[in-house]
Amino acid sequence: MRESDSYDKQSNAENADAQSDGGSPVTYTVVTGPLPICDYTVGGSDEPCEEPATVKRWSGVTMVIAAAIGATAGGLFTAAALVWIFGLWDGVQKFVPPQPGGQQAVAPIEINPGDNIDIATAVAAKATPSVANVRVEERIFDPFTGATGFRERGNGSGVIIRDDGYVLTNYHVIAGADRVVVTVGIDDVEAEVKGVDPSTDLAVLKIPGGPFPKAEIGSSADLEVGQFVVAVGSPFGLEKTVTTGIISALQRSNIVQGSRDITAYTNLIQTDAAINPGNSGGALVDAEGRLIGINTLIQSPAGAVGAPQSAGIGFAIPVDAAINVANQLIETGRAVHPFMGVSSMSIDQATSAQFRLPVSRGALVRFVEPQSPADRAGIERGDIIIRIDDREIRGTEDVFGAIRARRIGDTVDVAVVRGDTEIAIDVTLESDEGRR
């Protein structure tokens, strides 16, 4: 397979196969039966956990006095209740019993920008109907009966982006599935895989019927760090799970080498909203309930046992890029991306010192594809890319991010260091169709 822009196997990117989301079943232990009162000791002592009841005796005089006090208190309470019920003085609201068959008025939710609880409530009500559970199944064969069937292999999430049944999810959620079932409301519907794009880890499913509750599509172009966000999905199969947080960072990038494909995660949105296995393909929405990203990756603690664990570091594909790919998959069944035509390796301070390079950060061009945009523009092997337009290039991932953020046909200003000289080179990007 041909290497994509700026990817080099010696880079520091993770090397992991894209797999379907899943995890070990969650087991809940329910305690049944009456709870014992005194079957344990506190601090290892022999004292009972609750003192036994003591029988008290009352004298005749005491009982008469208690009865008189009780009668007086009861009369006062009854009088106060009658005054309250019939509204016998100003400021007391009359009790009006609900009318049979009547419907109580529901107070609208008023969003106070300073109160995250109210915002989350309103956003959850708006966003959850358009987020579906995606169940991945594999075909099984019973050698004793000769029958075939399906069993669940994992689960993920998806976002309904069109009311006629198009669902956007991650490619790694449905990769290798023999059957995909989407749960919308209470209905399980078998879905058709309309198109996949492993290079961006996105896929589009089509479910029959409709109209379905589609998400309101927002924009990822003007997001800000610190902005309030809500994540919706099916972690561990728990459908319609809502978590809240903020945007922790922007323009995060990563490259993953799978068994057959290279996935370039570029310009990711980082969030501290809890994201776990099963959230992949779900929605990241803003304070207005608009879709701004597709939840895709998490960073787990080193040495975590079993399924990956949420550590407050999750990543979402920006909605602008995701919808662009989704529209292509819906229309043609495939997606194309901007292409420059270089393979590079990241430079850090250690690499710079070892090879006595003139810069301590950048992407060293190791190969330029013949007849590619980079080749025609004059980029050479050994050049060090330090900037693309206004974006500083610190390594291979930044080159991916800068190129994928543009469109086919755009011209980018690439600043390279050649020898001891900085050179500006204009490169007009082309499609990567047929080059992967």
381 and 300 in a single domain? The answer is no
Report DSSP letters for 62-98, one per residue.
HHHHHHHHHHHHHHHHHHHHHHHHHT-STTPPPP-PP
Would you say residue 87 lies in a domain? no
Query: What is the domain-level CATH number for residue 364?
Result: 2.30.42.10
Residue 433: what pLDDT?
83
Would you say residue 279 lies in a domain? yes
pLDDT tens for 393-417 read 988 888 988 898 888 999 999 999 9
What 3-state class would DSSP assign to 421? strand
Handedness of CA 179, 14, 198, 210 (dihedral sign): positive
348 and 299 in a single domain? The answer is no
For residue 359, the number of C-alpha atoms closer than 13 Å in the C-beta half-sphere is 24
Omega before residue 211 within 30° of 0, cis: yes
Domain final position from 295, 319, 334: 334
From start to end of 144-240, where are the E strands?
148-162, 166-169, 179-184, 187-197, 202-206, 228-233
Would you say residue 101 lies in a domain? no
What the block records as the tokens of 372 is: 């590619």
Residue listed under structure tokens 């927002």? 218
122 and 174 in a single domain? The answer is yes
Q: How far apart are CA 179 and CA 157, in angstroms?
A: 15
What does pTM read for this prediction? 0.67
394 and 297 in a single domain? The answer is no
Residues annotated as catalytic are 172, 201, 280
What the block records as the tokens of 341 is: 């035509």
281 and 395 in a single domain? The answer is no
CB-based contact 209:234 (threshold 8 Å): no
325 and 344 in a single domain? The answer is no
The contacts found for 56-63 with CB under 8 angstroms, 24 or more apart, are none
Residue 20: what pLDDT?
42
Beta-bridge mates of residue 367:
343
288 and 347 in a single domain? The answer is no
Per DSSP, the chain holds a count of helices (H) and strands (E) of: 7, 20
Would you say residue 77 lies in a domain? no
Would you say residue 46 lies in a domain? no
What 3-state class would DSSP assign to 306? coil
Q: How far apart are the first and last CA of the chain?
A: 6
Q: How far apart are CA 360 and CA 191, in angstroms?
A: 50
Structural domain including 416 reads: 338-431
Indicate the number of domains in the chain.
2
Domain final position from 292, 310, 334: 334
Query: What is the domain-level CATH number for residue 143?
Result: 2.40.10.120
Would you say residue 31 lies in a domain? no
224 and 277 in a single domain? The answer is yes
Strands 148-162 and 131-141: antiparallel
Residue listed under structure tokens 């043609």? 332
355 and 330 in a single domain? The answer is no
Domain final position from 302, 334, 366: 334
CB-based contact 306:24 (threshold 8 Å): yes
Would you say residue 276 lies in a domain? yes
**Regions of the chain with pLDDT less than 50:** 1-109, 303-305
Residue 205: what pLDDT?
96
306 and 395 in a single domain? The answer is no
pLDDT tens for 170-193 read 999 999 899 999 998 888 999 999
216 and 362 in a single domain? The answer is no
Closest CA to 274 of 246, 237, 305: 246
What the block records as the tokens of 385 is: 């890319």
215 and 266 in a single domain? The answer is yes
Q: How far apart are CA 143 and CA 165, in angstroms?
A: 37
Closest CA to 172 of 251, 279, 327: 279
CB-based contact 429:339 (threshold 8 Å): yes
Would you say residue 365 lies in a domain? yes
Residue 327: what pLDDT?
95
